[in-house]
Amino acid sequence: MVGSGWSVLLPRHCAVCNAWLPAETEWMIACDSCALDWPELHAGFGSMVMKERCRMPFAAMGFRLRTRGELNAQLGAIKYGGNRWLAKQWGNWLGHRVPRLASYSQPLVLVPVPLHWRKQWKRGYNQAEWIARGLSQAWRCEVASSALRRLRHHSSMTGMNRVDRVGIVRDLYQVESPGLASEIGIVLVDDVMTTGATLSACGNALKRSGLNWLGGITLALA
């Protein structure tokens, strides 16, 4: 049930308090009273920070991540809680908050940042891919899930600084789909951006293969 009909078939409720959501707010993730408690989302400022970290022309995010709180719990459920449908729902929300690149008239494709196959096998899915699927519904574009491949597995980069991370991820990603035409604009999708090292490494791999990397979008900026 991967098609666009799932949101019609399933009852829609707030991801935080489980209250029913009215049908006309199909893309909303939370009810008004829950969303009112969220911190300022700082999306415009966040995209400036992201552009600086990755030197990419297009950058966007859904919200700024705090160490505690509901949004952090939502990310945990997406990443470790096995909730791929929640990831898709958040992706759809993201696509309604951030307009599709209006300045780019060529076809657009979303490329999720890949997990190493072993990690994906353990987790059962790649959360970035499901965010991309939700986003693609809102933006009406394709998702190329296997365009990139992660070559090695590392336990975690949490706690590392940018220099360490850049060194580790530099040649970590490889383009798997040379079939993507060079005029197709590619936007990378991930759940969280921390130092930007991962998005940079993926973007550089795309550029090295002669592909048209436009930038990246993440649900959260850490």
Q: Which of 7, 12, 14, 166 binds Zn ion (CB under 5 A)?
A: 14
Work out how close the CB of 155 gets to Zn ion at its nearest, in angstroms, rounded to a whole number.
Answer: 35
Stretch in the footprint of Zn ion (CB under 5 A) among 8-16, 100-108, 110-118, 186-194: 8-16
- DSSP line for 64-131: EPPSSSHHHHHHHHHHTS--HHHHHHHHHHHHHHS---TT--S-EEEEEPPPPHHHHHHHSS-HHHHH
Q: Alpha-carbon distance 202 to 179, whole Å?
A: 17
Q: Alpha-carbon distance 138 to 89, whole Å?
A: 10
Site for Zn ion in 20-49 (CB under 5 A): 31, 34
Number of residues that bind Zn ion (CB under 5 A): 6
Q: Alpha-carbon distance 214 to 91, whole Å?
A: 19
Question: Which of 14/49 has CB closer to Zn ion?
Answer: 14
Q: Alpha-carbon distance 114 to 193, whole Å?
A: 14
Q: Alpha-carbon distance 85 to 82, whole Å?
A: 9
Work out how close the CB of 43 gets to Zn ion at its nearest, in angstroms, rounded to a whole number.
Answer: 21
Q: Which of 17, 48, 151, 163 binds Zn ion (CB under 5 A)?
A: 17
Question: Which of 31/169 has CB closer to Zn ion?
Answer: 31
Question: Which of 74/194 has CB closer to Zn ion?
Answer: 74
Work out how close the CB of 15 gets to Zn ion at its nearest, in angstroms, rounded to a whole number.
Answer: 8
- Which residues form the interface with Zn ion (CB under 5 A)? 14, 16-17, 19, 31, 34
